Structure 1
Amino acid sequence: MRLKLLTWDVKDTLLRLRLPIGQQYQAEAKVRGLQVDSGALETSFRQVYRNHWRLFPNYGLSQGMTSHQWWVDVVSQTFRLSGVRDEGAIQPLAEKLYQDFCTAKNWEVLPGAREALQGCGEMGLRMAVVSNFDRRLEEILRQCDLDRHFDFVLTSESAGIAKPDLGIFRKALSLANVAPHQAAHVGDDYVNDYKAPRQAGMCSFLLQLDTRQPEERVPADHIIQSLEQLTHKLHKDIK
């Protein structure tokens, strides 16, 4: 049957950070008189984020946390691990950064994203977001003028389920009232955005924007190296 629904990942698929996390955190710290190395902040953030997601998956929802609390903890621990000892400065700094990442200030639309969304819409496809993001995503998409393309935005926070759990894709299919074989997903992560939707019975495309070797586990026909390629792929039979 004809494809009816196209779901999208967001981070590093439609939107990306304007600057690396370390540089953004460093700039805000500097405003407050704190000198912190951006490289140390980048390394610390990755470590803290990974550990926090392992200990408190999906923003700690099942453990009674809010995504706001989860993120403020991550940012605070990032600065502590990077050597900041001024506890009086850490909390307001973390709160300010949380608010900054609610806006388009720190995000930019990837090249080709607007054109791809427009083209897919003109093909008659309904579109939605399926993302491991928190409640801020809808506002970010609105400020970036991308929200108008989507029937709905399903974040892991709103769904209570995070990719690669198949439940989040099944919830999207239920919201759209389409069968799995009538839907496809686009994203940049092999496990979350390629493998999981296929396990849920959907089609999927893996976005690989860099020049590394193509993912060997993915047929070449399922890989797109630019968003401009997507509409051409969708005109073909999706196996």
Structure 2
Amino acid sequence: MNRHVQFAKNLNRFRLVTFDITDTLLRFRKPPGVQYAETAALMGIKNLDPNKLQTLFREEFKSMAKKYPNFGSKSKEITWQDWWILLVSNVFHRVDDQLPQTEIRRISERLFEQYRTNECYVHIDGNLELLKMMRNACKYVGVISNTDPGLERVLLSMDIRHIFDFVCTSYDLGVEKPHCDAFLKPLEKYNVQAHEALHIGNLYDKDYIGARNAGWCSLLITKSVDETQKAKPTHVYTSLKEMHNALETIDIEW
């Protein structure tokens, strides 16, 4: 069977396809710890340990997510912009408590801006080709991502925002994946039934299972052996390119 015909056959049942973004379509150009150290060095704060910064970033992200869930979406005391500035400030204060607060604030604001541009992201190999095929095969193509409204700027700067009919962030939705409500809004907006929708992401619980619990179909992209073993064989792939090839060459059992 012709590859394009097979692709269309596999996607025929879907009127809506959504994607996660980070580590699905885009990835960080450098680990946050490296980016933080390099940005600080350019602003005069040199010799900070990227590995230490990376560890502190992970710890502070968990702490902030617990104190102000979903980037502060339900908080009356903090905006999503403040959420990130505070997180980064906490990281730098912990890595060197002798750093002046004015310097920490300056670096934090600079990093906040960097992470809203193409300075910190690269395209994952094969994403543009797959998006083009999805765009031709499905009526609606969108984004469902556990992040803040700054994602709009990122997608614009990476020159892919125009591909999507909509971008749903967890902040705007008020819930994070895997909550079923995260998958409801696009269905309601475009009058699509759950069985007519497909979600593609990189996390087993939040993307693959979250979508299925909401009645959707889903595909998983991961290199995790454990997660690969949990998903159905034709639902999980190690890369976008591998998944794209499967969609063009085999029958997917949804």
Match of 2:39 in 1: 28
**1:84-137 Cα deviation digits (max 9, x unpaired):** 422121111111110111101111110010111011112234210000111111
- Indicate the larger mover: 67-76 or 134-143: 134-143
Query: In 2, distance between residues paired with 1:189 and 1:214?
Result: 8
User: Which residue does 1:54 correspond to in 2?
Assistant: 66
2:167 is aligned with 1:153: yes
Query: SS where residue 96 of structure 2 aligns?
Result: coil
- Asked if structure 1 preserves the Cα contact closer than 8 Å seen for 2:56 and 2:94, the reply is yes
- Percent sequence identity is 32
Classify 1:27/1:6 alpha carbon distance in 2 versus 1 (closer, same or farther; 3 Å): same
CA contact (8 A) 1:120 1:231 kept: no
Q: Secondary structure at the match of 1:99?
A: helix
Separation of aligned partners in 1, 2:26 and 2:18: 15
Provide the residue aligned with 1:121 in structure 2: 135
Kept in 1, the 8 Å contact 2:219–2:235? The answer is yes
> Out of 218, 226, 229, which is 2:239 matched to?
226
Please show how residues 199-238 of structure 1 align to structure 2 within 5 Å. 199-208=213-222, 210=223, 212=225, 215-234=228-247, 236-238=251-253
Give the match for residue 130 of structure 1: 144
Residue 180 to residue 142, structure 1, CA distance change in 2 (3 Å): same
Q: Distance in 1 between matches of 2:89 and 2:141?
A: 36
Distance across 2 between alignment mates of 1:138 and 1:63: 21
1:96 to 94, 103, 110: 110
* SS of equivalent residue, structure 1 residue 122: helix
Q: 1:166 to 1:94 in 2, by over 3 A?
A: same
The code of the aligned residue for 1:145 comes to: D
TM-score normalized with structure 1 length: 0.94
Distance in 1 of aligned mates of 2:211 and 2:28 = 25
Q: Tell me the distance in 1 between the aligned counterparts of 2:97 and 2:217.
A: 46
Residue number among 164, 168, 171 corresponding to 2:178 in the alignment? 164
**CA offsets, 1:149-202, max 9 Å, x none?**
111000011111111111110112112220000001000011110011100000
Structure 2 runs not aligned, ≥5 long: 1-11
Could you tell me which runs of 5 or more consecutive residues in structure 1 were left unpaired when the two chains were aligned: none
Could you tell me how far apart the structure 2 residues matched to 1:138 and 1:60 are?
Answer: 18
Cα distance change on mapping 1:230 and 1:216 into 2, 3 Å? closer
Equivalent pair of 1:7/1:129 in contact (CA under 8 Å): yes
Partner of 2:6 in structure 1? Answer: none
Q: Contact (CA 8 Å) 2:17, 2:138: kept in 1 or not?
A: no
